[in-house]
Structure 1
Amino acid sequence: MNKNSKKYILLKLFFTTIYISTFTFGGGFVIITFMKKKFVDELHWIDEEEMLDLTAIAQSSPGAIAVNAAILVGWKTGGLPGMGVAVIGTIISPMVILTIISFFYVAFATNTYIALILKGMQAGVAAVILDVVCSLGANVIKQKNWIHYIILIAAFVATFIFQINVIYIIIISAFVGVIIAVVEQRKGNAS
């Protein structure tokens, strides 16, 4: 099958999202990390800056970040059919796993070994989320724009020191980003 054909892209998108969704634990940021590795590093369907933008949009949109990211990546790589395929691939595994777990919830909740496994997984998930923070932060630093540095530091301080709600930080950052884009566009038009 031709790697540039729509059918190949949709199949690859479906199996990639179902694989990512099946083997990632810990929430949306963990899935974002795996999406970056697959779609940016391996398949080269999306570049790093686009993935950073898609992550920001997915995080700031209502709903689960994993599904939001799947919608955006699917749309970018395969249009409307790609979006549908990516969402289906993303939600199938959690639905099946959670359905099975719900039948055996009492046994899972009281089992000491399962509790220990989940505690161990928490450490691994924290490491993966730290990896996302470092790689996305590195992308911001690579841009060598002092305004982005200020936004990055201010958002960090607002979140961890002043414990300001993340929604407010996202809205303010988006507002600042719009202002920066307008100013830069006006500079470009003036020259």
Structure 2
Amino acid sequence: MEKKRTILLKVFVSTLYLSAFTFGGGYVIVTLMKKKFVDEYHWIEEDEMLDLTAIAQSAPGAIAVNGAIVVGYKLAGVAGALTAIIATIIPPFFIISIISICYSAFRNNLIVGKMLEGMQAGVGAVIAAVVFEMAGGIIHGKNPVSVMIMVLAFTAACFMKLNVIYVVLVCGLIGIIRTLAEKRRK
């Protein structure tokens, strides 16, 4: 029981911290969750983090919250998921509440506008790093089918302008088919 409380406390503090200092959307928090839960705490394997990210992206809603849910659930069940949800939504709720109160004062402020432009550039770099890490994990797995799926999904989304929802659904279907086929072989 004490170990579960310790894990819940670490999940709460970690996801609260990550959510409070992550700007730019869910993919940024996913890479930071990987660093915290895979690299630092060693609670989750890197392949498993990729799977949890895929689940979080496939589910409706914000990827940051979905990612926190699946990681929290993996670590401590329903209590872990609820703990992670609460810790993840507190900082944006608080920040958005303050910004909405002061919006008219910030709306035309040159310094705030330039600061946000700078943050956009930093967020772009962090998202590029996430893509690089995730693609590297797939390529280093040396599974030609996974690499082909990744290349085709990228091509469909970026060059053919296919809706990402369809790309995710098709990739999920391919994953189901591959899993069932592998189970039959065993």
Q: TM-score, normalised by structure 1?
A: 0.95
- Partner residue in 2 for 1:169: 167
- Partner residue in 1 for 2:15: 17
- Partner residue in 1 for 2:35: 37
| Residue type of the alignment partner of 2:78 | L
SS at match of 1:153: helix
CA RMSD of aligned residues (A): 1.2
| Residue type of the alignment partner of 1:27 | G
Q: Distance in 1 between matches of 2:140 and 2:68?
A: 26
| Residue type of the alignment partner of 1:132 | V
Q: Distance in 2 between matches of 1:184 and 1:8?
A: 38
- Partner residue in 2 for 1:53: 51
Question: 1:113 Cα deviation (Å)?
Answer: 0.4
| Residue type of the alignment partner of 1:146 | P
Q: After the TM superposition, which of the residue ranges 174-183 and 53-62 deviates more from structure 2? A: 174-183
Q: After the TM superposition, which of the residue ranges 32-41 and 179-188 deviates more from structure 2? A: 179-188
Alignment of 1:1-191 (within 5 A): 5-188=3-186
Question: 1:37 Cα deviation (Å)?
Answer: 0.5
Q: Distance in 1 between matches of 2:120 and 2:63?
A: 19
Q: Distance in 2 between matches of 1:6 and 1:182?
A: 34
Q: Deviations over 1:101-135 (max 9, x none)?
A: 00110111110000000000001000000111011
Q: Distance in 2 between matches of 1:43 and 1:6?
A: 15
Q: Deviations over 1:18-74 (max 9, x none)?
A: 000000000000010110010000011111011100100100100111111111011
Identity %: 52
Q: Distance in 2 between matches of 1:79 and 1:44?
A: 17
Q: Distance in 1 between matches of 2:50 and 2:13?
A: 23
| Residue type of the alignment partner of 1:185 | K
SS at match of 1:104: helix
Q: Distance in 2 between matches of 1:8 and 1:183?
A: 40
Q: List gaps (5 residues or longer) in structure 1.
A: none
Q: Distance in 1 between matches of 2:138 and 2:65?
A: 24
Q: TM-score, normalised by structure 2?
A: 0.97
The size of the alignment, in residue pairs, is: 186
Q: Distance in 2 between matches of 1:167 and 1:34?
A: 24
Question: 1:185 Cα deviation (Å)?
Answer: 1.7
Q: Distance in 2 between matches of 1:117 and 1:67?
A: 25
| Residue type of the alignment partner of 1:45 | W
Q: Distance in 2 between matches of 1:56 and 1:172?
A: 13
